Amino acid sequence: MITVRVKRRPDGAVSAVTIDGHAGFADPGEDLVCAAVSGISFGMMNAIEMLLQTPLPAHQGKSGFLHCEVPDDYPEQSREKMQLLLEGMIASLQAVSLDYGEFIKVLDQNKK
């Protein structure tokens, strides 16, 4: 199962996202759920870098691991746009979990 953990600041802003695991929906290379999660998460990171000209510190590892932290020191305008892109990523991952809930779980720290 893929687990997405969203950590938020007291004001509700996303402070970190961690994605870990494999869906197990199909064989490696044919797993639509893993492909969707990868496309959504890496698409968001690329969008932030390309559109905002701002790198997002991230660590990638084995077993589908991806962790990104949102620094506090971005200018306000960049921070707002980055939050919008991150919320879009979270909404997209939640949409995948609606159809494939036994293969992906999204745990959002301040939301039920």
Report how far residue 60's alpha carbon sits from residue 47's, in angstroms, rounded to the nearest whole number: 17
pLDDT digits (tens, 9 = 90+) for 30-86: 999 999 999 999 999 999 999 998 888 888 887 779 999 998 888 888 889 999 999
* Residue 65 domain boundaries: 2-108
- Please give the model's pTM, rounded to 2 decimal places: 0.91
Half-sphere exposure of 59 (CA within 13 A, CB side): 7
Active site (annotated) includes residue 22: yes
Distance CA 53, CA 70 (A): 14
Query: For this structure, is 68 an active site residue?
Result: no
Active-site residue (options: 22, 59, 67, 68)? 22
CATH number, domain with residue 19: 3.30.70.1490
Q: Look at the chain and report how many structural domains it folds into.
A: 1
